[in-house]
Structures are given as structure tokens and as C-alpha cells.
Amino acid sequence: MNSFPWLTLFVVLPISSGLLIFFLPHKGNKIIRLYTLFFCILELLLMTYAFSYYFQLDDPLIQLPEDFKWILFFDFHWRFGIDGLSVGPIFLTGFITTLATLAAWPVTRNSRLFHFMMLAMYSGQIGFFSSQDLLLFFIMWELELIPIYLLLAMWGGKKRLYSATKFILYTAGSSIFLLMGAFGIALYGSNEPTFHFETLANQPYPMALEILFYIGFFISFAVKSPIIPLHTWLSDTHGEAHYSTCMLLAGILLKMGAYGLVRINMELLPHAHSLFSPWFVLVGSMQIIYAAPTSFGQRNLKKRIAHSSVSHMGFILLGISSITDLGLNGAILQIISHGFIGAGLFFLAGTNYDRTQLLYLDEMGGMGIPMPKIFTLFSILSLASLALPGMSGFFSELIVFFGIITAKKYLFLSKILICFVIAVGMLLTPLYLLSMVRQMFYGYKLFNAKNASCFDSGPRELFVSLSILLPVITIGIYPDFVLSLSVDKVETIISMYFYN
């Protein structure tokens, strides 16, 4: 047994070290960048050490538990713990945040505040994925909003204030449903309110009340994921944000919504989830197809990449709604896979903008010859996004596909129709991704552009790109690298909540 509060350390270290940034020299941009990068790497190394030594893969129960009374009057606890469901997203957070910090190297304006926001987000994300208390879960969920808002409003593009306002209205508005649901569940059937996940998971609810709670939580997580029709903030936010912020948005922030659906909706409210899952299979199928025509309509490169995230979320929703071991494992694998692929595509889109100052696809063309490294890396990650065999996206989508086929809940004819819709969506996906690559890298437009100064990927950019590409290929060749983390926890969720 380990008594050291590792998870508290992982939550407190980034934000506390971020506060010390303001005592560093005002014009020491290089010092600030190195300082932030040092603590990101330190946190990642400490997580690797702690989880390697103290996390047991074959134990589906909560590990590294911490429980301290925080507010005595309200019986509010500082309660953390991890299991197979949370350890993957925690590692993803550490990895992507470290690379996003390295990607933000060109940022020099208000450098101290920028890097403090990056570290504050780091703390909030680790706290969110390791929370075992519903109110603490909500606080960590909210901790994301202010850093993202400021990163958008201060370091975004021309329409940054519009995008930041739209983001905060959508996410803060949806958070009200999360807070109401948290208090409703905590206060029901108990003389003293409890927010402890383990206690709440064993608490029965009247069906009508469980449905009400489920809808509230679903709205909150659907906005963050995003799920249609609550996705319209996504393209504006990605289109205006600095590409290091886009890496955090696509790599981690969107995954918080999917994680919440599994952790809260599936684990705490199983009967309502079983009731709503056929409808969400329909929504997930529509979402996969919906991404194709809407992506084609996006001239902005980053907005087109953002719309591809809507399609990937469709597969995650299908896996969660299949109520099978295969489907849920596939959804978790897709969360990790798209975290890497999405972050990589946004990083390369940003490095392309640094060189050409072009955002619109119809203004691009001919970049393959002057920038062969960026062309190669962008093409590989685009192929990974469309689920090319040998890449991480292939196995995650395949496992979800088999999860739907083997689902006992659905009739044979309905499974055939669902699989047909998924297949159509998978055929449409290469059209908008490969057309994006064609518009960017083929043709002759850029050769005639004025002030076009093109130089290929430098050592820093090559390192970030290859660091993202390596796990994409590793998971594609050996998916058990991720599945071994979650398989026992998934089995417990399915057997305990649906088949007893």
C-alpha cells in the first residue's frame, strides 16, 4: 500500500509552480518557457514513476485513494483516486500538455500569463480525471473555463473575442446542468449530502428521477464532447485559437466530455443509460455522416480539422451506447487515439500558418515541394485520422464496429442498418481529409504568392510531430498498449451495472 498523496501532488504542482512564474524576470521569455517546460516534464516523469510502481493493471477498483476533509461544515472531501478508466486520459494530458508547451515557443506577448494559464489547465485536467467526489469533479471541470477563455481572448485570431464569448456561453451554460445534477444526486435519499462516487454508484433512484439526472448530465457533457446539435462553438473556437491552445482543446478538453459520459452517465445512472442508448446510437451514426458535408463547407484549415473531431466523437458515442465490452473499450481507445491525432494535426496546421500566414484552403497549394517534412507528417496524420490500418484510429473504430455487431441489446436488422450508416461515414471521411491534403500540398498557387517565405520543419517542430506520431503508430501496431489499462474496469462496469 502506498500512503504518499501522489494525486494531490500531480494536481497542486502545476498550478503552484505556475504562480511562481510571475516572480520571474518580465522580459525573460526564454526563462519562462524553459521553466514551464521543466515542470511539465517533471510532472510527466513523476506520473510515469508513480503509476508504474503503484498501479495494478488487473485491479478494477480505485487505486492510490486519497480522502481528506476539506470543508467540515458541508462535509466536502478532497477525494482522489484512479482506475483503468482514468489512467489513460491522465497520461494523455501529461503528454499533450508538455508538447503543447513546446509548441507555444513562438509566443512572446504576455508570456508569463500565457504559461501560467497552460499550467493552471494542467492542474484542472489532472484533477478532473482523478476526482472521486462529484463536487470536486465539478470544480475541476470549471477550472478549465477561465484559462481557455483568456487563451482565446488574448492570443487568438481576428475574431477571438467572438469565439471566446461563444465558448464561455456554451460551456458555462452547460455547467449549470452538471451542478444541478450533482446536488440533486447528492441530496437524494440521504440525511447528509454525499458526493462520493462509490456511494452514489450503489444508490438506487426512481426511474423518472434517474432519467432527469441523466438528461442534465448528458447536456453538460454533450456540449464539451461535442455532440450535435451542441457543437457549433467548436469550429469558431479552434479557428481562432493559437495552435498550442488547439492542441489542448482537441487533445484533452473534448475528451473530458466523453470521460464524463462514461464516469457519470454509465456508472452512476445505468438504467437511464440503458434506456437512452438506442437513441444515442442513432445520434452517433448521424454524427459520423454529418461531419463529411460540413467539413467540405469549411474553407478555414483549422475549422475543417475541428469538424473531423465531430465524426470521431460519433464513434465514441457509438461505443458508449453499445453497452458491450468491445464497444466501450473501443470508445476509450478512440479517446486516446484522437487525442494524439487531433493534437498533431492542429500543431502542423499552426506551423504551416507560421510560415505562409495562410488559413484558407483555397489560397493554398504547392507546399509539398518547399516543405517536404511537414507534407509527409501532415499526410501520415491525415491517414491516421481516416483510420488507415497500422494507425491507432483503425483499431479503435474497428473495435467499436464489432461492439455494435455483438450488442445483445439491438435487433439484427437494426445492427445491419447501423453498420451500413457507419460504413458510409467511413467512406466519406477520406474525401474531406484527402481533399484537404490535396489543396494544401499539391498544385502551384504558393509559388506565385507574394512574400511567400517557406522553410521546412525545424528541430523543435520535428520533435513535437514525431513525439505525437510515435504513439499513434505504436497503438496502431499494438493496441493492447492502451486496452490493457481499461479492460478490467470496462468488464466491471458492463457486468455490474447491466447484466446483474
pLDDT digits (tens, 9 = 90+) for 331-363: 999 999 999 999 999 999 888 888 777 788 887
pLDDT digits (tens, 9 = 90+) for 377-426: 999 999 998 888 888 888 888 898 888 888 877 777 888 888 888 888 88
**DSSP assignment of 117-140, as one string?**
HHHHHHHHHHHHHHB-BHHHHHHH
Question: Cα angle vertex 23, ends 244, 45, to 5°?
Answer: 50
pLDDT digits (tens, 9 = 90+) for 103-127: 988 887 888 888 999 999 999 999 9
Q: What mean pLDDT is predicted for residues 248-270?
A: 89
Q: What is the pLDDT of residue 500?
A: 45
Task: Please return the burial class of 413, using the count of CB atoms within 10 Å of its CB with bins 0-12, 13-18 and 19+.
Answer: exposed
Contact (CB, 8 A) for 231 and 290: no
For the chain, how are helix, strand and coil distributed in percent, rounded to 5?
Answer: 75, 5, 20
Contact (CB, 8 A) for 187 and 147: no
pLDDT digits (tens, 9 = 90+) for 207-253: 888 899 999 999 999 988 888 888 888 888 888 888 889 899 888 88
Give the C-alpha separation, 247 to 347, whole Å: 7
Provide the residue type at 158 as one letter: K
Exposed e or buried b for every residue in 371-397, given b needs 16+ CB within 10 A? bebbbebbbbbbbbbbbeeebbbbbbb
Q: What mean pLDDT is predicted for residues 460-488?
A: 90
Name the strand (E) or helix (H) holding 263.
none
Task: Look at 37 and 497; give whichever has higher pLDDT.
Answer: 37
pLDDT digits (tens, 9 = 90+) for 412-470: 788 888 888 888 888 888 888 888 888 888 876 665 545 445 577 778 889 999 999 99
Q: Which of 293, 174, 159 is nearest to 227 (CA)?
A: 174
**CB atoms < 10 A from the CB of 225, how many?**
27
Contact (CB, 8 A) for 475 and 484: no
Q: What is the pLDDT of residue 28?
A: 63
Q: Which of 16, 139, 14, 5 is nearest to 82 (CA)?
A: 5
**CB atoms < 10 A from the CB of 26, how many?**
9
Joined together, the cell numbers standing for residue 223 give 456540449
Q: Is 456 helix (H, G, I), strand (E, B) or coil?
A: coil
497 pLDDT higher than 60? no
- DSSP-derived secondary structure letter, 357: -
**CB atoms < 10 A from the CB of 470, how many?**
11
Q: What mean pLDDT is predicted for residues 160-184?
A: 88
The residues that bridge with 300 in the sheet, in sequence order, are 360
**CB atoms < 10 A from the CB of 329, how many?**
25
Please report, for residues 136, 267, 323, 437, the alpha-carbon distance to residue 385 in angstroms, rounded to integers and kept in the order given. 34, 29, 25, 12
Q: What is the pLDDT of residue 471?
A: 93
Q: What is the pLDDT of residue 188?
A: 79
Q: What is the pTM of this model?
A: 0.91
Helices in 249-324 by DSSP H: which ranges? 254-260, 267-268, 270-296, 301-322
Share of the chain above pLDDT 70, in %: 95
Helices in 367-411 by DSSP H: which ranges? 372-385, 392-405
